[in-house]
Amino acid sequence: MIIENRWPWGKQLSLGIILMIFYIILGFFVYGSQLLTTAIFICGYSVITAGLVYWSLGSWKVFQKRVRITAPLKLWTWVLVVAFVIFAFAAQWPAMFAVTLHSKAILATTLIALGTGIFEESLFRGTFFSVFMANMQYRSRSYQLTRSAIYSSIIFGLIHITNVIGGNLQAVLQQVVYAMAFGLFLCVIRVMTNTLLWVIIIHAVADWAPATATGSGPT
């Protein structure tokens, strides 16, 4: 049985939009600052965001009890995990991790990755996923979990289009598609584990090496 959230979906949506706006404003505020200063601000704001989201939801859980893992569900989960690992090696993440480990900015990079993971997962797999679930329950729609995962992942992908400012359009569009696919993967993990903890960890690890190795932070 799906857990009933503390706040109604409309109020949750308002909170999510406000938190996103303030996050964008914070980005302009710390623009040009030292990397460690930026990292501390991002991490601090992300922790506040997680606290507010938890208060609005009342729990990190989706269900009162963990979903029963059937054979087909287990198979598809392993397919997703293997696909994710293949992508990580194809994108040369091991080499990027090595670069990050020898970086002078390893502390700042770690804080930024952790803060980004906490903020984006609290907002997208937490608030927005919950908003779609509650709205579809209210409207008695079918395939509630699937639709909620798809819709929240589309928003997650589209929000990355803001990177087109000062960036390459083709690269940004690729990032948008990747973010949508990654968002779906994280939604599956969220539902399977019935918590937000593991998706935060996976997201932080995914952001950790590429952030430095691709030039968004000094090495």
Residue 113, amino acid: A
Q: Which two tokens stand for residue 25?
A: 């404003």
Q: Which two tokens stand for residue 26?
A: 């914070």
What string of DSSP letters covers 29-66? HHTTS-HHHHHHHHHHHHHHHHHHHHHHHS-S-SBSSP
Residue 210's pLDDT is what? 57
CA dist 17 and 51 (Å) reads 16
Residue 132's pLDDT is what? 95
pLDDT (tens, 9 = 90+) of the chain, 219 residues, equals 788 899 999 999 999 999 999 998 998 888 788 989 999 999 999 999 999 999 999 999 998 887 777 777 778 778 888 888 888 888 787 888 888 787 888 899 999 999 999 999 999 999 999 999 998 887 777 788 899 999 999 999 999 887 766 667 888 888 899 899 999 999 989 998 999 999 999 999 888 865 544 444 333
Residue 179's pLDDT is what? 92
